[in-house]
């Protein structure tokens, strides 16, 4: 005689809200190529249902390079336009070119005007440039973001000699490898974003 009790059916898990992903366009140079990279990357994110996206473009914000603990009214107004958006994000993807073996000054300025907004969140990188594909800029950014208590995602998307990958309409000429790299990056961002968000909901981060 079988005395085992049938197992109760597993309860369906509650739907998970999408993570809020801030995509930071890190160049404000005239005739920049960053918008082509951004359009391609955002099209990859749009295929997923685990993110909602806010695009933070350094070209849209005029923050002074002289930092202050007590900024003037104009600077406060500019910070009010961008700081809440960074604070509300659960994760970040930073798009950066490489300038002189590093990343643009406008991107560093945006980073340095903020601190707590970045903490205990994942940051991933999409880079572009010449022969190095912007990876030297990414390595410098990893050091900067470590100081801000972030978790930088291991995998990157990088474009060596970036202009050669896209046609005159901004479409990627041979997207298979880049699409696969973007998927890997976003999968890792999603994992870290969920893990860190859950951890902070149970124990506030005290860094």
Q: How do residues 90-103 score in pLDDT, each as one tens digit?
A: 999 999 999 999 99
List pLDDT tens digits, range 28-73: 999 899 999 999 999 999 999 999 999 999 999 999 999 999 999 9
- What one-character DSSP code corresponds to residue 90? S
The answer to the question of residue 111 being in a domain is yes
Do the Cβ atoms of 110 and 78 come closer than 8 Å? no
Dist. CA 131–CA 152, nearest whole Å: 23
**What pLDDT score was predicted for residue 192?**
98
pTM of the model: 0.90
Instruction: Give the model's pLDDT for residue 204.
Output: 93
Owning domain of residue 166? 19-66+76-201
Residue at 13 is within a domain:
no
pLDDT at 3: 47
In a domain, 188, yes or no: yes
Residue 163's domain is classified under what CATH number?
A: 3.40.50.360
Report H helices in the chain.
Answer: 34-45, 73-88, 105-112, 135-147, 176-202
Specify the number of domains making up the chain: 1
- Say what the pLDDT of residue 16 is: 85
Say how far apart CA 153 and CA 174 lie, in whole Å: 25
Does residue 12 belong to any structural domain of this protein? no
CB-based contact 59:25 (threshold 8 Å): yes
Stretches where the chain sits below pLDDT 50 are 1-5, 8, 10-12
pLDDT computed for residue 169 by the predictor: 87
Residue 6 lies in a domain: no
Q: What integer pLDDT is reported at residue 15 of this predicted model?
A: 61
Say which DSSP state 25 is in.
E
């Amino acid at each position: 005689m079988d005395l085992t009790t049938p197992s109760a059916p597993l309860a369906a898990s509650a739907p998970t809200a999408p993570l809020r992903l801030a995509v930071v366009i890190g160049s404000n140079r005239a005739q920049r190529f960053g918008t082509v990279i951004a359009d391609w990357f955002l099209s990859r994110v749009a295929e997923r249902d685990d993110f909602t996206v806010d695009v933070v473009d350094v070209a849209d914000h005029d923050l002074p390079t002289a930092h202050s603990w007590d900024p003037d009214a104009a600077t406060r107004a500019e910070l009010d336009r961008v700081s809440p958006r960074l604070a509300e994000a659960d994760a970040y993807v930073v798009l950066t070119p490489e300038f002189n073996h590093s990343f643009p000054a406008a991107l560093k300025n945006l980073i340095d005007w903020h601190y707590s907004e970045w903490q205990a969140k994942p940051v991933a990188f999409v880079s572009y440039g010449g022969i190095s594909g912007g990876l030297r800029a990414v390595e410098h950014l990893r050091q900067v973001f470590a100081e801000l208590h972030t978790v930088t995602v291991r995998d990157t998307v990088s474009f060596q000699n970036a202009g050669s990958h896209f046609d005159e309409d901004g479409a990627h000429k041979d997207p298979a490898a880049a699409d696969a790299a973007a998927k890997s990056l976003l999968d890792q961002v999603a994992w870290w974003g969920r893990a860190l968000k859950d951890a902070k909901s149970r124990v506030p981060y005290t860094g």
